[in-house]
Amino acid sequence: MAYEDLRDWLKRLERDGELKRVTEQVSPILEMAEVADRAAKSGRGTLKAGGPALLFENIEGYPGARVLMNQFGSERRMRLALEVESLDDIAGRIEDLLHPKQPMGMLDKLKMLPKLAEIGGYFPKTVAAKDAPCKEVILRGDDVDVLKFPILQTWPGDGGRFITLPCVVTRDGKTGKRNVGMYRMQVFDGKTTGMHWQRQKNAAEHLRDALRAGATDGRERVEWMAETAGGTAPGIALTKMQGRRMEVAVAIGTDPATTFSAIVPAPPEVEEYLIAGFLRQRAVELVKCETVDLEVPAAAEIVLEGYVDLGELRSEGPFGDHTGFYTMPDEYPLFHITCITHRKDPIYAATIVGKPPMEDAWMGKAVERIFLPLMKLTLPEIVDVNLPAEGVFHNLMIVSIKKSYAGQARKVMNGIWAMGQAMFTKCIVVVDEDCDVQDLGEVVLRATNNIDPERDIQFTLGPVDSLDHASRMPNYGSKMGIDATRKWAAEGFTRPWPEMLTMPADVKARVDTLWKRLGIS
């Protein structure tokens, strides 16, 4: 059964021995982050990797407050969160949807009906405000103060406190579709925060659309098209937009599938609320906001309602990021909070990002598994994909392919660079299908043995992740693909290619029978 809300999920975590209550007093300034960092890294390299989820119950300066951290911080918890035995089970469900079996007769067709009805049941439902726990307390006007929650500072050089696990809801002005994205929010004061949606993300596009709609002359059009809605913007176009608004709502502390759906790099046509419904196999219940025309999960712990002013940007950062480095300050939109609604005794949900492995590494692994069948739709030769945590998702993707024609590894690289947020991948390593991409030792062996670097490394230029500190320019730089597949004569390789070493099966079987008696291990 799907988790109702964060509290239901907490109960499950506790019942399964996955939750540690922290009753010693700790400060939200750095100390909680240090505890969570150690928990995230505990048991590294073992089956217990990831440490427990943490419920902080004694927070300096916030009597009675509770904060949940590391809720997704292990492979097992990620599976529990999405209620599956294996993360590949979700990929299996997606494959069923993408490749439904052709019904052979009337009976088969009838059997498909419940499946269709099931999918219909994943669309979000809207409930009345009186049935929405997130409306137990409603704060407006002078009562709005986001600093009443124990918001963390996670690294010493950070620009301040940041909301690190928010589900940010915006609406596409053209289609009316809602987007839910996880974008950190630096708290500037009780009523304003930063809104760190990077320029290639869906909410940034919503903002650009709003700017387009408000543009009055061609000159403005060119300038805001070039560089706005996240990142340095030319002031001239923006000043004309001042006073125009785009509505935004933020939910903090939802059921785990809904929080997770905010990081899923879904295309703009697919609402994350539907993805959450699909993952939990039950519709997400939404409720209308008080002051903006948006809906949020009705059982959320905390909801912030407000707007970004189309003409306003402010420097955000630095922030200790998931690359293991600080991201430098940059200009981002400002979120003005007009109303806060929350449950009684709300539980604030947070995460810390930093040097991997951290909690987000497991969330990223789940995305990797879920997206595999979708990648295969465009690139059917893909066998498996690995985004190692230390590659911080945008720096390194290892992909195995079933190679059938000359140059196919390069075709796959180009396909990946053209695919949604995979465009950011700085380094792609392509290996043959017989290489297990999850075995990094095997990958290094192939990637170094099988290449003539000058011939097999391909460079390209394009958009890079905003967090990349080494690219020649912010957001724009080079990427590299390594073709570590076996080279063919059709690719101009005329020397014989050696076989890889394997022992004949009969020899192995004989040694298997001897092995115990040999007493070697």
Ligand X SMILES: Cc1cc2nc3c(=O)[nH]c(=O)nc-3n(C[C@H](O)[C@H](O)[C@H](O)COP(=O)(O)O)c2cc1C
Contact between 66 and ligand X by CB under 6 A: the answer reads no
Q: Which is nearer to ligand X, 203 or 435 (CB)?
A: 203
Q: Is 197 in the site for ligand X (CB under 6 A)?
A: yes
Residues 347-361 as b/e (b if ≥16 CB within 10 A, e otherwise) read bbbbbbbbbbbbbbb
| Contacting residue, 351, 400, 408, 450, with ligand X by CB under 6 A | 351
Of residues 158, 255, 321, 360, which has the active-site annotation?
321
For the question of residue 321 being annotated catalytic, the response is: yes
Which of 122/362 has CB closer to ligand X? 362
Q: How far is the CB of 360 from ligand X (least distance, A)?
A: 4
**What does the DSSP assignment read for 256-321?**
HHHHHHTTS---TTS-HHHHHHHHHTSPPEEEE-SSSS-EEETT-SEEEEEEEEEEEEEEE--EE-
Q: Which residue has the tokens 């009562």?
A: 143
Q: Does 69 sit near ligand X (CB under 6 A)?
A: no
Q: Tell me which stretch binds ligand X (CB under 6 A): 47-55, 90-98, 259-267, 511-519.
A: 259-267
Q: Which of 53, 229, 363, 370 binds ligand X (CB under 6 A)?
A: 363
On the CB side of 123, CA atoms within 13 Å amount to 5
Q: Of 46-54, 58-66, 191-199, 281-289, which part binds ligand X (CB under 6 A)?
A: 191-199
* Type of residue at 420: G
- Window of 27-35, 37-45, 148-156, 201-209 that interacts with ligand X by CB under 6 A: 201-209
Q: What is the largest CA-CA distance in the chain?
A: 85
CA distances from 464 to 242, 385, 461, 467 (A): 29, 20, 9, 8
Regarding 271 and contact with ligand X (CB under 6 A), the answer is: no
Closest distance of CB 183 from ligand X, Å: 4
Query: What part of residues 202-241 is at the interface with ligand X (CB under 6 A)?
Result: 202-203
Residue 124 amino acid letter: P
The residue type at 231: G
Q: Are 181 and 197 in contact (CB under 8 A)?
A: yes
Contact window for ligand X (CB under 6 A) among 53-61, 123-131, 200-208, 479-487: 200-208
Helix (H, G, I), strand (E, B) or coil at 344: coil
CA atoms within 13 A on the CB side of 323: 15
Number of chain positions touching ligand X (CB under 6 A): 21
Q: Does 191 bind ligand X (CB under 6 A)?
A: no
Instruction: Please state, in angstroms and as integers, the Cα–Cα distance from residue 492 to each residue in 345, 371, 433, 447, following that order.
Output: 68, 34, 21, 19
For residues 259 and 400, which CB has a smaller minimum distance to ligand X in the complex?
259
Tell me, rounded to whole angstroms, the distance of Cα 91 from its chain centroid.
16
Q: Which stretch binds ligand X (CB under 6 A): 84-92, 121-129, 175-183, 303-311?
A: 175-183
Instruction: For ligand X, give the closer residue by CB, 401 or 467.
Output: 467
- 350 versus 412: smaller Cβ distance to ligand X: 350
Nearer Cβ to ligand X (186/408): 186
For residue 9, what are the contacts with CB-CB under 8 A and spacing of at least 6? 3, 71, 81, 255, 256
- Is 344 buried (19+), middle (13-18) or exposed (0-12) by CB count in 10 A? exposed
Contact 65, 149 (CB under 8 A): yes
Within 289-348, which residues bind ligand X (CB under 6 A)? none
Rounded to whole angstroms, the Cα distance separating 24 from 60 reads 10
Tokens 């219909």 belong to residue? 120
- Does residue number 198 form part of the binding site for ligand X (CB under 6 A)? yes
Considering only residues 385 to 444 of the shown chain, the ones binding ligand X according to CB under 6 A are 421
- 270, two tokens: 């697919």
Please state the closest distance from residue 181 (CB atom) to ligand X, in A.
3
Least separation in angstroms between residue 511's CB and ligand X is 46
Q: Which is nearer to ligand X, 262 or 484 (CB)?
A: 262
Which of 2, 40, 49, 182 touches ligand X (CB under 6 A)? Answer: 182
Q: Indicate whether 474 belongs to the interface with ligand X (CB under 6 A).
A: no
The answer to whether residues 175 and 269 touch, using CB atoms and an 8 Å cutoff, is yes
CB of 307 to ligand X, least distance (A): 18
Rule CB under 6 A: say whether 181 interacts with ligand X: yes
Minimum CB–partner distance for residue 436 and ligand X (Å): 26
The residue among 199 and 403 lying less far from ligand X, judged by its C-beta, is: 199
State yes or no: residue 263 binds ligand X (CB under 6 A). Answer: yes
Give yes or no for residue 183 binding ligand X (CB under 6 A).
Answer: yes
Q: Which stretch binds ligand X (CB under 6 A): 182-190, 453-461, 477-485, 507-515?
A: 182-190
- The angle formed by the CA atoms of residues 470, 476 and 482, to the nearest 5 degrees, is 70
Of the two residues 255 and 491, which places its CB atom closer to ligand X in the complex? 255
Q: Residue 252 or residue 262: which is nearer to ligand X going by CB? A: 262
- Of the residues 360, 368, 468, 491, which one makes contact with ligand X according to CB under 6 A: 360
Of these, 66, 161, 191, 201, which contacts ligand X (CB under 6 A)? Answer: 201
The reply to whether 161 sits near ligand X by the rule CB under 6 A is: no
Report how far apart, in Å, the C-alpha atoms of 145 and of each of 139, 188, 339 are. Answer: 9, 11, 9
Asked if 208 and 225 touch (Cβ cutoff 8 Å), the reply is yes
**Contact flag: residue 184 with ligand X (CB under 6 A):** yes
| SS3 at position 510 | helix
Footprint (CB under 6 A) of ligand X, residues 85-104: none
Q: How far is residue 476's CA from residue 366's CA, in Å, rounded to a whole number?
A: 27
Chain residues that interact with ligand X, rule: CB under 6 A: 164, 179, 181-184, 196-198, 201-203, 262-265, 351, 353, 360, 363, 421
Active site residues: 321
